[in-house]
Amino acid sequence: MSATPLIQLRRVTKMYGEGATALQALKGVDLTIEAGDFVAIMGPSGSGKSTAMNTLGCLDTPTTGEYLFNGVHVETLSRDQRARLRRRFLGFVFQGFNLLARTSAQENVELPLLYRGESAKTRHALAAKALASVGLAGWEHHTPAELSGGQQQRVAIARAIVTEPAVLLADEPTGNLDTQRSREIMELLWRLNVDHGITVLMVTHEADMAAYAKRVVRFVDGVVASDTPNPHPAGLQASTAAAPTTAEVA
């Protein structure tokens, strides 16, 4: 474990509006996340979990308090500096996939690289590698309409990891999927965490999806109500169950 945590929120508050209509979404949140962690963030509607994720993803800034990313005070950065931090270190996966409808899987995955100014040759190679890593080799030229929901989410995950981010932020990544596809996506996130060392922060309302995480953080009324380690993540159990025995290998 490094001396400097990857992410720290210190007494973070977030206020929307002013006067009588003001809403305090976060009320002094403290949260530490180490590199390589897999954290499920849960809580009822209005609990502050989405505001916390927007803050962690540099999409919003605290009203008061500190947000440190690898020791850097994010709350002091300009809008452009936060945008650069997002492009360099963060990847995003959403419930609704957010793919361009008339664009191939390959081209969807290339988008973050296009924003970075990478050459066409580099974009093609890295996108193909990312799609292969999520089990979609051979599907590069299919549009979203030609893919199942699970495949579309895999494309979205490939797009999120094509830049090799330090952190993957997933907002209800299985919300639009059936049970089997949800498990496949969670096992994929688990493998990205374990095999590639990507820190995963996931908002979910589903306990069986949160069971894949190494920690479960619950928000209630704008504060962290509990932060519980999960010593037996479902992803670890699935990996163990899938591992061949000596007899099977023989």
Which segment of 15-19, 127-131, 149-153, 246-250 scores lowest on mean pLDDT?
A: 246-250
Output the pLDDT for position 4: 87
| Mean pLDDT to the nearest integer, 53-78 | 95
Given a contact cutoff of 8 angstroms between Cβ atoms, the answer to whether 8 and 62 are in contact is: no
For residue 244, what pLDDT is reported? 41
227 vs 249, higher pLDDT: 227
Query: How far apart are the C-alpha atoms of 193 and 173, rounded to whole Å?
Result: 15
Report, as an integer, the average pLDDT of 112-127: 92
Structure tokens at 230: 């999960």
Cα separation, 55 vs 39, in Å, equals 15
pTM confidence score: 0.89
Q: Domains plus CATH for the chain? A: 40-61+81-249 (3.40.50.300)
The closest of 98, 129, 124 to 113, measured between CA atoms, is 124
Tokens standing for 119? Answer: 């050459």
pLDDT band at 39 (very low <50, low <70, confident <90, very high): very high
60: number of Cβ within 10 Å: 18
- Residues 4-28: pLDDT tens digits? 899 999 999 999 988 888 899 999 9
